[in-house]
Amino acid sequence: MIRKATLDDRQRITLVRNAVRENRLSPGNESKVSDTARWIYDNGTFWVWEEDGAVQGFAVADVRDGTVFGLFVHPDYEGRGIAQALLPLACEDLRAAGHRIARLTTDPGTRAARFYLRNGWIDTGAQEKGEIVFEKPLSPSQLAIL
Ligand SMILES: CC(C)(COP(=O)(O)OP(=O)(O)OC[C@H]1O[C@@H](n2cnc3c(N)ncnc32)[C@H](O)[C@@H]1OP(=O)(O)O)[C@@H](O)C(=O)NCCC(=O)NCCS
């Protein structure tokens, strides 16, 4: 089941975020990520996949800067289409907020980088820290075509 998260989901969302093996949270980023997450809990939407009585994945956009802030699936639930189902909802939030392009960053050589390439995202090059910046145009029919 896909639904919008509530504040009650926050602990489990954090657990899923910390359970992943790639794109792990780097220690220097913790407070910035925490601030952004808090803003989104107050003003935006975490889309969550619930299965077996718990949140097993989430996708979330930051409508302030047009980025996909997070896409994370618990390792035990990977490879079943959960990310493919959740990501369009975060992209739709960006489109509804007026963005024409979605952006995100991910570590090179990861399952996530391969996932984005296979799902139509464009590799626009690496940032200073080596993370790849991916972009995807957001058409009005985003939900229908993804
Ligand atoms: C990257 C990540 C989000 C992908 O999540 P996922 O739910 O495993 O992704 P999906 O299942 O939607 O897609 C992965 C594969 O499963 C396939 N799949 C889709 N539905 C399926 C199903 N019902 N049964 C089996 N496989 C399926 C997809 O076709 C896709 O195949 P491909 O890799 O050959 O293209 C997840 O691996 C993850 O959280 N990684 C760690 C954190 C991370 O890097 N996040 C991104 C940060 S930017």
Among 50, 72, 107, 119, which is best to mutate for testing ligand 1, by the most ligand atoms less than 8 A from CB? 72
pLDDT score for 20: 93
Nearest-CA residue for ligand 1 atom 14 is 79
Tens-level pLDDT at each residue, the chain (146 residues)? 999 999 999 999 999 999 999 989 888 888 999 999 999 999 999 999 999 999 999 999 999 999 999 999 999 999 999 999 999 999 999 999 999 999 999 999 999 999 999 999 999 999 988 999 999 999 875 455 55
CB atoms within 10 A of CB 83: 22
pLDDT attached to residue 139: 81
Residue to substitute in 22, 91, 115 for testing ligand 1 pocket (most ligand atoms within 8 angstroms of CB) = 115
Burial track 119-146 (b if 16+ CB lie within 10 A, e otherwise): eebeeeeeeeeebbbbebebeeebeeeb
- Helices assigned H by DSSP within 20-74: 30-43
Q: Which domains does the chain have, with CATH numbers?
A: 2-145 (3.40.630.30)
Pocket of ligand 1 (CB under 6 A): 20, 22-23, 71-73, 78-84, 104, 106, 110-112, 115, 118
- Quote the pTM value: 0.92
Rounded to whole angstroms, the Cα distance separating 75 from 118 reads 20
